[in-house]
Amino acid sequence: MTILVDCAGDDEIASDLTKYVISLGHEAKQDNSYVLINEKDVKNILKLFIKHSGKSDYDVLQADSETVVLAKVLPIREFGLATCEICGYAASDEELFAHRRAHGIQLF
């Protein structure tokens, strides 16, 4: 089973994640800010990755049965910022417009 990890437009974290998953002996393939992982328990791998890389401000959200989102979770929603419905990323309206488009990239 292949799970798609959506890194919410962050190519760098997608690259780090791909290397980490491969180092654990699993199959992973990066496509821009997306990572395809051929493994059942992807959420657990992502939690290990967050711990391993010290990215404690990131969290894992289940988008649907085949997609999980790895994104920064802001503890306090700042006034004037809107949030992405898909992953909870908070930004100005303009930034969010570009951000939402990143989720719309069709891989398949």
| Separation of CA 87 from chain center | 8
Q: Which residues here bind Zn ion, judged by CB under 5 A?
A: 8, 84, 86-87, 89
CA dihedral sign, ordered 51, 54, 57, 59: negative
Amino acid at 95: E
State the nearest-atom distance from the C-beta of 102 to Zn ion, in Å. 7
State the nearest-atom distance from the C-beta of 16 to Zn ion, in Å. 19
Pick the closer one to Zn ion by CB: 25 or 93.
93
Pick the closer one to Zn ion by CB: 31 or 41.
31
36 pairs with which residues across the strands? Answer: 4, 29
State the nearest-atom distance from the C-beta of 22 to Zn ion, in Å. 25
Pick the closer one to Zn ion by CB: 10 or 16.
10
